Structure 1
Amino acid sequence: MAEYSDLPQDALSRLQQEPDHFVFTSDLSVNEFILVEEAGFTPLGMVMGSSIYHIGYQQANWTKNQEMTVLSQAMYNARELAMTRMEEEADALKADGIIGVRLQVSHREWGQHIAEFVAIGTAVKAKDGSSHRTIKGKPFTSDLSGQDFYLLMQAGYRPVSLVMGSCVYHVAHQGTLATIRQLGQNRELLPYTQGLYDARERAMERMQTEAAELKAQGIVGVHLHENNHSWDSHILEFFAVGTAVVKFQDSVMTPPNLVLPMNDNTTD
């Protein structure tokens, strides 16, 4: 049996029930559950991973646009720890992948720089016994809904991994003279524009790099989040996340057909 040193004993006890007494759990809706079954996968159970992380401190230059690399690395590492533990739970269930993944960040009253990072999803396994794991041997992960997962598989694509990129960025403060000069004027605040633009691009680039390393062909369902996380008002995190996909077969989708009613009901 594989060793899962990061998982609490209670988690292993829940996941490694006897087959005759195993009851699957899922946060899928009824519609999602049915469509996942139709796509050829069986839900095995809800899986999750958690990391309570102390986020370090970095001094920012008041008048300079700059990435807060210490904070960027902390936010990325904490999410990776939560994701890895969720994947270990799925591995304990012998799952092929995890769908409907949600990544959550919540701050605790234990300290201003302490946050809990949680990853939650539903582990699934292919009914035909085929492997859908990544090239690194891990279960695939995806934040797609059950409906989107079904359509993706019907179109001949499959999820590879949830990919993400993070950039915590300090947007420069504007000097007093510059503030006075723009009073009553319509004008672009170029330092602000450049700072936010740069931060978003870095987050997107890092997400795309993750997908390229997994030999994915594209990323679907991309979301770009912006959060302050109780830092200074000029420090923001830009977080890009989506599902990397790869083509694995021809589409089996049925083209839509026009249906005409045959009754004689008419409207005036």
Structure 2
Amino acid sequence: MDEGDFLATRFEEQRGRLRAVAYRVLGSAAEADDAVQEAWLRLSRTDAGTIDNLGAWLTTVVARVSLSMLRSRRTRREDPLDTHTATASESGADPEQQALLADSVGLALLVVLDTLSPAERLAFVLHDMFAVPFDDIAGIVDRSPAATRQLASRARRRVQGVAVAAEEADAVRRRAVVGAFLAASRGGDFEALLELLDPEVVLRTDTAAALAGATTVRGAAAVAETFVGRAKGARPVLVDGRAGLAWVPEGRPRAVFVFSLTEEGRISQIHVLADGATIDQLDVVLLDGA
């Protein structure tokens, strides 16, 4: 293996991390790929023998390129935030790397990060997400380490504040969806149930529920048919803090219905739990007025 091939191999070992850094800073899979490619071009024009820590050097280069792109975008008043996480086929990325990227960076976080200034965003991403020391970040954003620490602190407070607000809004939405589901089920409103259910919704049961006669059901029509005109004995509850339903004879939950929702607010899964030991491990709170 010649020196060029060796350098390319070492760069590929860093590609996944570099792309993750660029994606968090830029919020665009295409721009992240461009930043990583620019880092490779700069590396290929540099004497690798002068680089003590290749990973740190490449991270610095990608960070500088990303910051420049972010500042240029703000100047042009452009907003290339991806409305979805790019697939492996779109970006050319390794499928495993792409899956990890999708798991670790949600669109909601990217939207929050887009409210930060370029320097705040870079300081927060590098320090809080990749543990890069403030001394190293300071040189990238042309600030003192103390000023860089303040950038990250301001960004962190803003991200945390938006996250709390988003969590509260999500809780309200979930409670409304589950409440509407209960009302439609009790009222025998098949069409209303269909509107609340994702087309690929799945009704799942644990072993105890299955022994009692419940079965796995797939598809909106089949799940709606299962619940229409029923659930009269179900009560609105919080299950580990999230909206759900439960059958609570004599004040003790005997069956718990756990709901999963899509980003669009439709019910994608209903899991029926009837095993006593499992229910005892849950924090089931009967809602006031239920």
For Structure 1 versus Structure 2, the TM-score category normalised by the shorter chain is under 0.3
Structure holding more strand per residue: 1
> With structure 1 as the length reference, what TM-score do the two structures score?
0.25
Structure holding more helix per residue: 2
Relative contact order higher in (CA < 8 Å, ≥ 6 apart): 1
> With structure 2 as the length reference, what TM-score do the two structures score?
0.24
